[in-house]
Amino acid sequence: MSNIEYLPGEYINQFGGGIFMALVKWDPFRELAGLQQSINRIFEDNLRYPRESDGNLAQGWMFPVDIKDTPEAVLIKAELPGMNREDIKISFSDNLLTIRGERKKEEKEEKHNYLRVERSYGTFSRSFSVDVPVKENEIKARYQDGVLNITLPKKEDYRKEVSIEIGE
């Protein structure tokens, strides 16, 4: 072997001869394009697989909710249009409220094709952590016009304000 330094891009073939390969022009945006693809993939995955507020994957389709904290109760309003009352199940255990059920697909035979289908069907389940003590036996739920309203009354002793003296 000789002490000859080879230029970058030069290839030594099996017979010891050098063949110059085509130089590739450096593109500073090539790595940015790869980064953009990675970020797009992250957003697509999160939109395709919705997550609950605690980071866990939501089960089934995700319905919107409003949660309001009042001095007397925690109020939850969930939009569940097109549901039957019998298809919605609510449970409360260990300060965790769970709403689950199934929205059944309409089985109508139609002669026309859909151009777009955006409504979700199938099973769903969402759980919400309630951070205040509630009267479990007084929880009430009402379903009307596609909106589920749940009232979780707070325990009185929780709402009681106590004055604390500052010692010396």
pLDDT band for position 6 (cuts 50, 70, 90): very low
Tokens describing residue 111:
């002669």
Dihedral sign for Cα 84, 87, 91, 97, please: negative
pLDDT at 136 over 90: yes
Flag whether pLDDT at 2 surpasses 60.
no
Per-residue pLDDT tens over the stretch 40-74: 777 776 655 555 555 555 556 678 899 999 999 99
* Domains in the chain, CATH or no CATH each: 56-106+119-159 (2.60.40.790)
pTM of the model: 0.58
